[in-house]
Amino acid sequence: MREFFAYRFQDRINTFSLPLNGRRLFQQLMVDVYTIVESERLFYIRNQQKKLRCETYENLRSSQNQGNNDVSKVGQRIILPSSFTGSSRYMLQNYLDAMSLFVYTVEFQKRGLPHAHLCLFMNANHKLPTVDHVDPFISTEIPDKNADQELYYLVKEFMIHGPYGIENINCPCMVDRKCSKNFPKKFREFTSIDGEGYHVYRRRDDGRFVDKLNVKLDNRSVVPYNKTLLKRNQAHINVEWCNQAGLIKYLFKYINKGQDRVSIYFVPSNQQHDRQESVDEIKEYYSCRYISACEASWRIFSYDIHYRNPSAIRIPFHLSGQQVIYEDSDVIDDVLDKPSVATSMFLEWMNSNQTYPEARKLSYVEYPTQFVWKIDKCRKRRKKGFSIGRIYVVSPSLGEAYYLRILLNKVKGQRTFDEIKTFNNVVYPTFRDACYAYGLLDDDNEYVEAISEASFSGTGYYL
Give how many domains the chain has, as a whole number: 2
Same domain, 204 and 331: no
CB-CB neighbours of 205 under 10 Å: 12
Average pLDDT value for residue range 2-21: 90
Q: What is the mean pLDDT of the chain?
A: 77
- On whether residue 11 sits in a domain, the answer given is no
> At 443, is the pLDDT very low, low, confident or very high (cuts 50, 70, 90)?
low
Average pLDDT value for residue range 264-289: 67
pLDDT of residue 375: 56
Cα distances (Å, whole numbers) of residue 59 to 55, 109, 396? 7, 45, 22
Is the pLDDT confidence value at 26 over 80? Answer: yes
pLDDT of residue 450: 42
- On whether residue 226 sits in a domain, the answer given is yes
Cα distances (Å, whole numbers) of residue 329 to 51, 101, 332? 10, 40, 10
Query: 186-240 pLDDT, tens per residue?
Result: 999 998 877 766 778 999 999 999 998 889 999 999 999 999 999 999 999 999 8
- On whether residue 41 sits in a domain, the answer given is no
DSSP assignments along 238-304, one per residue: --EEE--HHHHHHHHHHHT----B----------SS---PPP-HHHHHHTTB---HHHHHHHHTT--
- On whether residue 419 sits in a domain, the answer given is yes
The least confident of 253-267, 268-282, 332-346, 378-392 is: 332-346
Average pLDDT value for residue range 286-305: 84
Longest dimension (CA), the chain: 87
Is the pLDDT confidence value at 367 over 90? Answer: no
pLDDT of residue 106: 80
Average pLDDT value for residue range 232-252: 76
The burial of 277, by beta-carbon neighbours within 10 Å (0-12 exposed, 13-18 middle, 19 or more buried), is given as: exposed
Same domain, 421 and 318: yes
Cα 275 from chain centre = 35
Same domain, 358 and 454: yes
pLDDT of residue 185: 92
Same domain, 225 and 320: no
pLDDT of residue 158: 93
Q: What is the dihedral of CA 340, 82, 246, 290, to 10 degrees?
A: -170
Domain interval for residue 172:
129-240
Same domain, 318 and 453: yes
- On whether residue 318 sits in a domain, the answer given is yes
SS3 349: helix
Q: What is the dihedral of CA 376, 380, 386, 387, to 10 degrees?
A: 60
- On whether residue 75 sits in a domain, the answer given is no
> Which of 240, 267, 282 is the last residue before a domain boundary?
240
Express as a percent the part of the chain with pLDDT over 70.
72
Is the pLDDT confidence value at 32 over 60? Answer: yes
DSSP assignments along 67-127, one per residue: T--B-TTSS--S---TTSTTSHHHHHHHHHHHTTSEEEEEE--SSS--EEEEEEEPPGGG-
Query: 58-115 pLDDT, tens per residue?
Result: 444 454 455 555 445 545 557 777 778 777 777 777 777 766 667 677 877 776 778 8
pLDDT of residue 269: 62
Same domain, 139 and 235: yes
Nearest to 404 by CA among 440, 361, 353: 440
d(CA 380, CA 259): 39
Same domain, 346 and 432: yes
CB burial readout 10-36, b (16+ within 10 A) else e: eeeeeeeeeeeeeeeebeebbbebbee
> Which of 240, 272, 306 is the last residue before a domain boundary?
240
The least confident of 252-256, 275-279, 332-336, 418-422 is: 332-336
> Which of 224, 240, 256 is the last residue before a domain boundary?
240
What angle, rounded to 10 degrees, do the helices at 431-438 and 400-408 form?
Answer: 40
Same domain, 217 and 336: no
275-279, 327-331, 377-381, 395-399: which is most confident: 395-399
Residue 19 DSSP symbol: G
Query: 108-150 pLDDT, tens per residue?
Result: 777 677 888 787 777 777 777 777 788 888 999 999 999 999 9
Average pLDDT value for residue range 160-176: 89
Is the pLDDT confidence value at 419 over 80? Answer: yes
Average pLDDT value for residue range 363-386: 75
